[in-house]
Amino acid sequence: MRQSRPLHSGWTLTCLGGPGARPGLPEAIPAQVPGTVHTDLLAAGLIPDPYLDLNEIAVDWVGRCDWRYDLVFDWRDEGAEITDLVFAGLDTFAAIRLNGVAIGDTANMNRAYRFPVHEHLRAGENHLSITFQSAWTRGEALAAQYEPRPNNYPGPANLMRKMACNFGWDWGPTLVTAGIWQAVTLDSGPAARLASVRPEITLSGADGHVRVHADIAAGDASGLALRVSIAGQSAAAPVADGAAALDLVVPAPRLWWPHNLGSQPLYDLVVELVAGDRVIDSYRRAIGFRSIRLDTTPDEHGTAFTVVVNDVPVYIFGANWIPDDCFLPRVTPERYAARIDQARGANINMLRVWGGGIYETEAFYEACDRAGMLVWQDFLFACAAYPEEGDLPAEIEAEARDNIVRLMPHPSLVLWNGNNENIWGYFDWGWQPALEGRTWGAHYYLDLLPRLVATLDPTRPYWAGSPYSGTMDIHPNDPDHGCTHLWDVWNEIGYEHYAASIPRFCSEFGWQAPPTWATLTQSVHDEPLTPVSPGVWHHQKATIGNDKLLRGLAGHLPEPQGMDDWHFATQLNQARAISFGIAHMRSHRPRNMGTIVWQLNDCWPVTSWAAIDGYGRKKPLWYALRTVSANSLLTIQPRTTGLTVVAVNERTLFWRGAVTLRRLDFDGNILAEWTHWRLCADRFSAAELLVPKELSAPVDPKREVLVAKMHDRTAFHWFTEDIDLALPKPEYDIALKNLGDSRWEIAVTARTLLKDLCIFPDRLASDAEISDMLVTLLPGEVHRFIVENIDEIDAAGLAGAPVVRCANDLVT
């Protein structure tokens, strides 16, 4: 049996110099593996925290230097036929030497490497050295090699296979990393091993089918066999010509579902390479049985884009996922699980792993498998033209093969996507005249990647890009075909314009806001703290982002006066914008079958489009997503026939009940009332109800609201924007109740109308968290919030501003 020995302890790190290298650095410092140069320097006290204030600029020199990792380890020959040095991930341009012998070079952080080293090992002490060349330095050489190509962001990311957002993005810092970012092991044992295992998992009727393909690395494969077992079923097949394949049928397995539709049973798949009764090598994965397809059937509206799981068309409540930290090894399995649990808590059922980041580690996909979180996986191309010459095509093919095979066992993975915005860029961003006929990546998206997916993972659909219409003959961002990005909203026009189109599937749209107050003040220490003070400004990476924040308030809320109001108003506007867009698109089900908001998470503390900020805290947007993405949504939408109540049902049972409509003034007086005794939305459908004229036509739009109720769902329709509403000065009573274990109940009784009531306990205690936000109360109504992680002294501050806020505060 093979033995794997981690080589994670005892490393040192040395700076080899480069532009701006700091004088006086120690010759060597302790290094953590897996890790990065930046985090080692930070642990040694040699650089300030790059996430704080303007420190990102102060540490720029780190990415411009070359670095060497060194390890001395003992080894003894225990009779293994071969020993390989295996790297799960090296970032990025590395030269590897063992006992002074050059073992190999790497140029891709997105793939694993295996080097035979048995003949170079010595009994006793051995010296392993890995030298990393600066990606900036290598980028200069590559830029000289390749003719210029469009790139939306500075840096040479499109010329190499390194995480693109490392070089900065409109939400991320420029922190160009290097290091041994994933595990490094010595793998010893017999000469034969499982080189790759590809399990194709499908359904046929009620039965599950597993077809296992295995490639065997062996000098002599005679007498070897492949043995597979799962769910009490087992089979074996001989190895021939370095490969083996076999099929297993699992009678009537329990099906794996996205979490909003069912459970996530997993079965242990065991694949063994055997010689007689002796196990030489093994492979184990937890798999799930489910079918998946992408329905792109033409219809009267254009071309559908519908994810179908177990023959059920699933409405996608999605969020785009970026790397959760600039320093990747800091994202532990526990952190992945926590973040995915937050996504699930917001009723998100799909995460799109975006193409400017990484193929995540196994821990991410395993957590998604357990949580019932669907995964849309981009291949790693984003916002740039990529050359198709030189060494790049071979690296891209090797990387794609590696990751397709690695990720295909996961039931959560349901779609491969060729790129982010590159086809759109070719059509609309002035690339064609700039390219002058040079290659830009079309071969990858339209030929290489679909061929590899079809060959290696034929059970899953492939789509060439996001956005993409399905053909180069139709504009890639045509809302009637395929998947669409909506970025004129936010960049150019207000969020009310989401209602101007009905995309078949919206795979990117978003609205910015600052992080939570606790995160902002933990990372920025400006005195005074203002929207344009140096640290706050530096933690806003979008072009004229602060201007867009204020412009986006226009017509909705007044321009805020002071930092507290700016922080609350922009967070509130973000939550409203996205909620408005999703409710509009959902109300047009099944023409629209999904939204993927930009974005779930952040990689550092920053003003961005995220629902969860860079320190893992929930912004008001998270609470808005939880409401608007619930399986049952009641919403009031404008239609050509007039205001309409829409009940949207993503449950497995029909949703039926009485709908009560009331037009009220802001004092709570009923001006008109009507009940429709039975509105029925069948499972996976939407039902509409026209609002009678006496309810949809206010006498005084500034002082009236339309309220619809169906079971426990409530929808509000305001007849004009907040800036024009006669919202009263907020009045309320607050009662606190100590629940023990640092938990408190906050009962808020409204004495006036309170619109979008929020409580921000993180202003009192950085770890405090509230159960609800964005709660609208009519006079006399009570809402009970639960706050956690706050002590008795801080709890006394839960009774007023700036902890307690509502929209009334901004307009009165």
Integer Cα distance of 95 and 108 in angstroms: 12
How many C-beta neighbours within 10 Å does residue 547 have? Answer: 10
* Sheet-wide strand order for 124-133: 29-30, 12-17, 66-75, 124-133, 93-98, 101-107
Q: Is the dihedral of CA 274, 277, 282, 283 positive or negative?
A: positive
Whether 366 sits among the annotated catalytic residues: the reply is no
Bridge partners, 750 (sequence order): 732
Q: 562: which 2 tokens?
A: 């002071």
* Distance, CA of 530 to CA of 422 (rounded, Å): 37
- Torsion angles phi and psi, residue 97, rounded to 5: -130, 135
Q: What is the C-alpha to C-alpha distance for residues 602 and 622, in angstroms, rounded to an integer?
A: 13
Phi-psi region of 485 (alpha: psi -120 to 50; beta: other; left: phi over 0): beta
Residue 126, H or E segment: strand 124-133
Q: Return the exposure string of 622-637: e unless at least 16 CB atoms fall within 10 Å of the residue's CB, then b.
A: bbbbbbbbbbebbbbb
Query: Would residue 781 be called left, alpha or beta, if left means φ above 0 and alpha means ψ between -120 and 50 degrees?
Result: beta
Residue 560 makes CB contacts below 8 A (sequence gap 6+) with: 553, 566, 568, 569, 570, 810
Distance CA 509, CA 497 (A): 12
Tokens of 53: 């204030």
Cβ partners under 8 Å of residue 421, min gap 6 = 382, 383, 465, 466, 467, 485
Query: Which ranges of 230-382 does DSSP label H, i.e. alpha helix?
Result: 333-345, 362-371
Identify the active-site residue in 421, 508, 650, 704. Answer: 421
At residue 311, the 3 state secondary structure works out as: coil
> How many whole angstroms separate alpha carbon 270 and alpha carbon 228?
6
Neighbours of 525 (CB within 10 A): 11
Active site residue ranges: 421
